Amino acid sequence: MITQTQLLQVREYASLFFTLEEISILTLIDLETLRREVSFGHSELNNAYWLGKMEGQVTLRKQVKEWAEKGSPAAEQQLIEWLRQQNESE
């Protein structure tokens, strides 16, 4: 049984881009259970992981956008790549 505390931890650690192995160790959730739920599950555990991961990406992308606005060529190229990926997904 996964507790509410573990779900919050999974979300936080996923937002910080920890691996599944690291999340398993930190939360005391069986690695195979975590891997199965992340890959195939439709559960609170799955949702916590993916929501956390996306929250981390939002933070990262905001930072890259700020750098691009300040003239960073590498950040500008990354934004162009993300735009290309977005356009392809539509």
**DSSP-derived secondary structure letter, 90:** -
Task: Quote the number of domains for the chain.
Answer: 1
Arithmetic mean of pLDDT, 7-29? 98
Q: What is the pLDDT of residue 41?
A: 85
Helix, strand, coil percent values for the chain (each to nearest 5): 80, 0, 20
**pLDDT band for position 83 (50/70/90)?**
very high
* Rounded average pLDDT over 77-87: 97
Structure pTM?
Answer: 0.88
pLDDT tens, position by position, 54-64: 999 999 999 99
| CA contacts within 13 A on the Cβ side of 56 | 15
**Distance of alpha carbon 41 from alpha carbon 33, whole angstroms:** 10
| 79 close to 37: Cβ distance less than 8 angstroms | no
Q: Which domain holds residue 39?
A: 4-89
Q: Looking at residues 4-30, what average pLDDT do you find? A: 98
